[in-house]
Amino acid sequence: MSDATLHTRRHAFRAATEEAPLLRITLIGIAVAGLAILVFAPLAVVFAEALREGWLAAVESLGNQDARSAIWLTLLITAIAVPANAAFGIAAAWFITKFDFRGKAFLITLIDLPFSVSPVVAGLCIVLLFGANSAIGGWLVANGWPIVFAIPGIVLATIFVTFPFVARELIPVMIEQGRAEEEAALTLGASGWRTFWTVTLPNIRWALLYGTLLCTARAMGEFGAVAVVSGKIRGQTATMPITIEMLYNEYLSVAAFSMAALLTALALVTLLLKTLLELRHADQLAAIRRH
Protein backbone atom coordinates (compact mmCIF):
# COMPACT_ATOMS: atom_id res chain seq x y z
CA MET A 1 0.00 0.00 0.00
CA SER A 2 1.45 3.37 -0.98
CA ASP A 3 1.41 6.47 1.15
CA ALA A 4 -1.16 8.08 -1.12
CA THR A 5 -3.82 5.41 -0.54
CA LEU A 6 -3.19 5.49 3.19
CA HIS A 7 -3.72 9.19 3.14
CA THR A 8 -7.00 9.04 1.24
CA ARG A 9 -8.24 6.25 3.49
CA ARG A 10 -7.60 8.32 6.59
CA HIS A 11 -9.51 11.13 4.91
CA ALA A 12 -12.44 8.86 4.29
CA PHE A 13 -12.78 7.84 7.93
CA ARG A 14 -12.38 11.28 9.42
CA ALA A 15 -15.17 12.32 11.77
CA ALA A 16 -17.32 15.20 10.57
CA THR A 17 -16.03 17.57 13.24
CA GLU A 18 -12.37 16.61 12.82
CA GLU A 19 -10.09 19.02 10.93
CA ALA A 20 -7.52 18.14 8.29
CA PRO A 21 -4.10 17.25 9.82
CA LEU A 22 -2.33 20.27 8.38
CA LEU A 23 -4.96 22.68 9.69
CA ARG A 24 -4.89 20.98 13.05
CA ILE A 25 -1.12 21.29 13.40
CA THR A 26 -1.26 24.94 12.33
CA LEU A 27 -3.96 25.79 14.87
CA ILE A 28 -2.18 24.01 17.70
CA GLY A 29 1.04 25.74 16.69
CA ILE A 30 -0.58 29.17 16.80
CA ALA A 31 -2.11 28.46 20.21
CA VAL A 32 1.17 27.21 21.68
CA ALA A 33 3.16 30.11 20.23
CA GLY A 34 0.60 32.60 21.52
CA LEU A 35 0.74 31.11 25.01
CA ALA A 36 4.53 31.04 24.97
CA ILE A 37 4.91 34.67 23.89
CA LEU A 38 2.03 36.19 25.86
CA VAL A 39 1.96 34.11 29.04
CA PHE A 40 5.00 31.96 29.72
CA ALA A 41 7.75 34.32 28.51
CA PRO A 42 6.65 37.29 30.69
CA LEU A 43 6.23 34.98 33.68
CA ALA A 44 9.70 33.57 33.20
CA VAL A 45 11.20 37.04 32.75
CA VAL A 46 9.61 38.37 35.95
CA PHE A 47 11.04 35.57 38.05
CA ALA A 48 14.42 35.62 36.24
CA GLU A 49 14.82 39.37 36.78
CA ALA A 50 13.81 39.08 40.42
CA LEU A 51 16.44 36.42 41.05
CA ARG A 52 19.19 38.04 38.96
CA GLU A 53 21.21 38.90 42.04
CA GLY A 54 20.27 35.75 43.87
CA TRP A 55 17.62 34.72 46.35
CA LEU A 56 19.07 36.74 49.17
CA ALA A 57 18.86 40.09 47.37
CA ALA A 58 15.29 39.38 46.29
CA VAL A 59 14.09 38.41 49.76
CA GLU A 60 15.97 41.30 51.34
CA SER A 61 14.30 43.82 49.02
CA LEU A 62 10.91 42.56 50.21
CA GLY A 63 11.92 42.81 53.85
CA ASN A 64 12.24 46.56 54.27
CA GLN A 65 9.60 48.70 55.93
CA ASP A 66 8.02 50.17 52.76
CA ALA A 67 7.83 46.84 50.96
CA ARG A 68 6.24 45.14 53.95
CA SER A 69 3.75 47.98 54.24
CA ALA A 70 2.85 47.64 50.53
CA ILE A 71 2.31 43.88 50.84
CA TRP A 72 0.23 44.32 53.96
CA LEU A 73 -1.84 47.09 52.34
CA THR A 74 -2.56 45.03 49.23
CA LEU A 75 -3.66 42.05 51.33
CA LEU A 76 -5.84 44.31 53.48
CA ILE A 77 -7.51 45.96 50.46
CA THR A 78 -8.13 42.55 48.90
CA ALA A 79 -9.55 41.19 52.13
CA ILE A 80 -12.08 44.03 52.20
CA ALA A 81 -12.88 44.35 48.49
CA VAL A 82 -13.36 40.67 47.67
CA PRO A 83 -15.97 39.79 50.34
CA ALA A 84 -17.77 43.04 49.59
CA ASN A 85 -17.92 42.22 45.89
CA ALA A 86 -18.90 38.62 46.56
CA ALA A 87 -21.86 39.89 48.60
CA PHE A 88 -22.77 42.56 46.01
CA GLY A 89 -22.36 40.05 43.21
CA ILE A 90 -24.64 37.47 44.82
CA ALA A 91 -27.25 40.13 45.60
CA ALA A 92 -27.16 41.56 42.07
CA ALA A 93 -27.26 38.15 40.37
CA TRP A 94 -30.08 37.03 42.67
CA PHE A 95 -32.10 40.15 41.95
CA ILE A 96 -31.57 39.93 38.19
CA THR A 97 -32.27 36.24 37.77
CA LYS A 98 -35.03 35.55 40.28
CA PHE A 99 -37.27 38.54 39.64
CA ASP A 100 -38.88 40.04 36.56
CA PHE A 101 -38.83 43.80 36.39
CA ARG A 102 -38.46 46.65 33.98
CA GLY A 103 -34.98 47.89 33.18
CA LYS A 104 -33.33 44.51 33.76
CA ALA A 105 -31.20 44.80 30.62
CA PHE A 106 -30.13 48.27 31.73
CA LEU A 107 -29.08 46.97 35.13
CA ILE A 108 -27.00 44.20 33.54
CA THR A 109 -25.28 46.81 31.38
CA LEU A 110 -24.66 48.92 34.47
CA ILE A 111 -22.94 45.99 36.18
CA ASP A 112 -20.60 45.73 33.21
CA LEU A 113 -19.77 49.43 33.34
CA PRO A 114 -16.54 49.02 35.35
CA PHE A 115 -15.20 46.78 32.55
CA SER A 116 -15.75 49.45 29.90
CA VAL A 117 -14.75 52.54 31.88
CA SER A 118 -11.02 53.14 32.08
CA PRO A 119 -9.80 52.57 35.66
CA VAL A 120 -8.08 55.97 35.57
CA VAL A 121 -11.42 57.65 34.85
CA ALA A 122 -12.98 55.68 37.69
CA GLY A 123 -10.23 56.88 40.00
CA LEU A 124 -10.75 60.49 38.91
CA CYS A 125 -14.49 60.20 39.59
CA ILE A 126 -13.72 59.11 43.15
CA VAL A 127 -11.29 62.03 43.58
CA LEU A 128 -13.90 64.49 42.26
CA LEU A 129 -16.64 63.05 44.44
CA PHE A 130 -14.74 62.54 47.70
CA GLY A 131 -11.71 64.81 47.31
CA ALA A 132 -11.09 67.55 49.88
CA ASN A 133 -12.47 70.14 47.42
CA SER A 134 -15.88 68.52 47.12
CA ALA A 135 -18.72 69.03 49.56
CA ILE A 136 -18.83 65.41 50.73
CA GLY A 137 -15.07 65.06 50.80
CA GLY A 138 -14.59 68.34 52.66
CA TRP A 139 -17.02 67.29 55.35
CA LEU A 140 -15.43 63.85 55.67
CA VAL A 141 -11.91 65.30 55.92
CA ALA A 142 -13.10 67.81 58.51
CA ASN A 143 -14.46 64.94 60.58
CA GLY A 144 -11.28 62.93 60.32
CA TRP A 145 -12.43 60.49 57.65
CA PRO A 146 -10.39 61.26 54.55
CA ILE A 147 -11.31 59.08 51.57
CA VAL A 148 -8.92 60.20 48.87
CA PHE A 149 -5.20 59.66 49.44
CA ALA A 150 -6.19 57.21 52.16
CA ILE A 151 -7.19 53.56 52.49
CA PRO A 152 -10.99 54.06 52.03
CA GLY A 153 -10.37 55.59 48.59
CA ILE A 154 -8.21 52.65 47.54
CA VAL A 155 -10.88 50.24 48.77
CA LEU A 156 -13.59 52.10 46.85
CA ALA A 157 -11.52 52.19 43.67
CA THR A 158 -10.71 48.47 43.95
CA ILE A 159 -14.33 47.54 44.61
CA PHE A 160 -15.46 49.57 41.62
CA VAL A 161 -12.95 48.05 39.22
CA THR A 162 -13.56 44.45 40.33
CA PHE A 163 -17.32 44.76 40.76
CA PRO A 164 -18.43 42.74 37.68
CA PHE A 165 -16.38 39.60 38.29
CA VAL A 166 -18.63 37.75 40.72
CA ALA A 167 -21.95 38.95 39.27
CA ARG A 168 -20.92 38.06 35.73
CA GLU A 169 -19.94 34.53 36.73
CA LEU A 170 -23.17 34.00 38.64
CA ILE A 171 -25.80 35.48 36.31
CA PRO A 172 -25.54 32.90 33.48
CA VAL A 173 -25.42 29.99 35.95
CA MET A 174 -28.43 31.25 37.85
CA ILE A 175 -30.40 31.94 34.68
CA GLU A 176 -29.70 28.40 33.47
CA GLN A 177 -30.80 26.89 36.78
CA GLY A 178 -34.06 28.81 36.89
CA ARG A 179 -36.24 29.18 39.97
CA ALA A 180 -37.76 25.72 40.23
CA GLU A 181 -35.46 24.38 42.97
CA GLU A 182 -36.00 27.47 45.11
CA GLU A 183 -39.75 27.19 44.61
CA ALA A 184 -39.59 23.53 45.57
CA ALA A 185 -37.76 24.42 48.80
CA LEU A 186 -40.40 27.04 49.64
CA THR A 187 -43.28 24.62 49.07
CA LEU A 188 -41.51 22.20 51.42
CA GLY A 189 -41.75 24.83 54.14
CA ALA A 190 -38.26 26.35 54.04
CA SER A 191 -37.94 30.07 54.73
CA GLY A 192 -36.39 32.32 52.10
CA TRP A 193 -33.20 32.51 54.15
CA ARG A 194 -32.95 28.74 54.54
CA THR A 195 -33.68 28.28 50.84
CA PHE A 196 -30.81 30.61 50.02
CA TRP A 197 -28.30 28.79 52.23
CA THR A 198 -29.36 25.22 51.45
CA VAL A 199 -30.39 25.44 47.78
CA THR A 200 -29.28 28.61 46.01
CA LEU A 201 -25.78 28.90 47.44
CA PRO A 202 -24.76 25.24 46.99
CA ASN A 203 -25.94 25.39 43.39
CA ILE A 204 -23.82 28.42 42.57
CA ARG A 205 -20.80 27.63 44.72
CA TRP A 206 -18.44 26.79 41.85
CA ALA A 207 -19.31 29.89 39.87
CA LEU A 208 -19.03 31.90 43.07
CA LEU A 209 -15.63 30.42 43.84
CA TYR A 210 -14.39 31.07 40.34
CA GLY A 211 -15.69 34.65 40.32
CA THR A 212 -14.20 35.29 43.75
CA LEU A 213 -10.80 33.98 42.71
CA LEU A 214 -10.75 36.11 39.55
CA CYS A 215 -11.86 39.05 41.66
CA THR A 216 -9.06 38.38 44.15
CA ALA A 217 -6.38 38.22 41.47
CA ARG A 218 -7.66 41.43 39.89
CA ALA A 219 -8.05 43.25 43.22
CA MET A 220 -4.46 42.52 44.16
CA GLY A 221 -3.20 43.70 40.78
CA GLU A 222 -5.32 46.83 40.30
CA PHE A 223 -3.15 49.78 39.29
CA GLY A 224 -4.90 52.55 37.29
CA ALA A 225 -7.72 53.57 39.59
CA VAL A 226 -5.65 53.06 42.73
CA ALA A 227 -2.79 55.13 41.29
CA VAL A 228 -5.15 58.12 40.99
CA VAL A 229 -6.81 57.92 44.42
CA SER A 230 -3.90 56.70 46.54
CA GLY A 231 -1.58 59.68 46.21
CA LYS A 232 1.25 57.11 46.17
CA ILE A 233 2.45 57.85 49.67
CA ARG A 234 5.27 55.42 50.32
CA GLY A 235 4.68 53.28 53.39
CA GLN A 236 1.07 54.48 53.69
CA THR A 237 -1.03 54.30 50.53
CA ALA A 238 1.32 52.57 48.11
CA THR A 239 -0.03 49.13 47.23
CA MET A 240 2.10 46.42 45.66
CA PRO A 241 1.46 47.46 42.02
CA ILE A 242 2.11 51.11 42.88
CA THR A 243 5.31 50.20 44.70
CA ILE A 244 6.46 48.13 41.73
CA GLU A 245 6.04 51.12 39.44
CA MET A 246 7.86 53.47 41.82
CA LEU A 247 10.78 51.05 42.29
CA TYR A 248 11.01 50.46 38.57
CA ASN A 249 11.10 54.20 37.86
CA GLU A 250 13.92 54.51 40.35
CA TYR A 251 15.93 51.86 38.46
CA LEU A 252 15.72 49.49 41.45
CA SER A 253 14.98 46.62 39.14
CA VAL A 254 15.73 43.75 41.52
CA ALA A 255 13.39 45.23 44.13
CA ALA A 256 10.74 46.00 41.49
CA PHE A 257 10.83 42.54 39.99
CA SER A 258 10.94 40.81 43.38
CA MET A 259 7.74 42.58 44.32
CA ALA A 260 6.30 41.75 40.88
CA ALA A 261 7.27 38.11 41.32
CA LEU A 262 5.56 38.01 44.69
CA LEU A 263 2.40 39.58 43.23
CA THR A 264 2.47 37.04 40.39
CA ALA A 265 2.97 34.23 42.86
CA LEU A 266 -0.07 35.38 44.85
CA ALA A 267 -2.18 35.31 41.68
CA LEU A 268 -0.83 31.88 40.78
CA VAL A 269 -1.69 30.61 44.25
CA THR A 270 -5.34 31.64 43.78
CA LEU A 271 -5.44 29.75 40.49
CA LEU A 272 -3.75 26.73 42.07
CA LEU A 273 -6.32 26.82 44.84
CA LYS A 274 -9.13 26.69 42.31
CA THR A 275 -7.55 23.74 40.48
CA LEU A 276 -7.01 21.85 43.74
CA LEU A 277 -10.62 22.37 44.80
CA GLU A 278 -11.84 21.21 41.41
CA LEU A 279 -9.73 18.07 41.61
CA ARG A 280 -10.89 17.28 45.12
CA HIS A 281 -14.57 17.60 44.24
CA ALA A 282 -14.32 16.24 40.69
CA ASP A 283 -16.91 13.47 41.11
CA GLN A 284 -19.40 15.76 42.77
CA LEU A 285 -18.90 18.36 40.03
CA ALA A 286 -19.47 15.76 37.33
CA ALA A 287 -22.65 14.56 39.05
CA ILE A 288 -24.07 18.07 39.10
CA ARG A 289 -23.06 18.96 35.56
CA ARG A 290 -24.58 15.88 33.97
CA HIS A 291 -27.99 17.12 35.03
103 sits near another protein (criterion: CB under 8 A): no
Which of 103, 92, 105 is CA-nearest to residue 169? 92
Q: How far is the CB of 205 from another protein (least distance, A)?
A: 8
Determine, following the binding rule CB under 8 A, whether residue 101 of this chain makes contact with another protein: no
Task: Output the smallest distance, CB 99 to another protein, in A.
Answer: 13
The widest CA-to-CA distance across the chain, in whole angstroms, is: 91
Using CB under 8 A as the binding rule, whether residue 290 contacts another protein is answered as: yes
Residues 201-260 that bind another protein (CB under 8 A): 202-203
Closer residue to another protein, CB minimum distance, 139 or 197: 197
Q: DSSP label at 17?
A: T
Task: Work out whether 287 is an interface residue with another protein (CB under 8 A).
Answer: yes
Which residue in 283, 282, 100, 90 sits closest to 204, CA to CA? Answer: 90
Given a contact cutoff of 8 angstroms between Cβ atoms, the answer to whether 207 and 173 are in contact is yes
Helix/strand number for the chain, H first, E second = 17, 0
Interaction residues for another protein, span 169-198 (CB under 8 A)? 180-181, 183-191, 194, 198
Burial environment of residue 161 by CB neighbours within 10 A (0 to 12, 13 to 18, 19 or more)? buried
Site track 123-162 with another protein (rule: CB under 8 A), x = hit = ----------------------------------------
CB of 65 to another protein, least distance (A): 48
In whole angstroms, the minimum distance from the beta carbon of 40 to another protein comes to 37
- For another protein, give the closer residue by CB, 140 or 185: 185
* Shortest distance (Å) from residue 174 CB to another protein: 14
Q: How far is CA 183 from CA 92, 93, 178, 179, in A?
A: 19, 17, 10, 6
Query: End-to-end CA distance of the chain, in Å?
Result: 48
Euclidean distance between CA atoms 270 and 276, whole angstroms? 10
Q: Does 291 bind another protein (CB under 8 A)?
A: yes
Q: How far is the CB of 91 from another protein (least distance, A)?
A: 21
DSSP letter (8 states) at residue 19: P
Point out which residues bind another protein (CB under 8 A): 180-181, 183-191, 194, 198-199, 202-203, 284, 287-288, 290-291
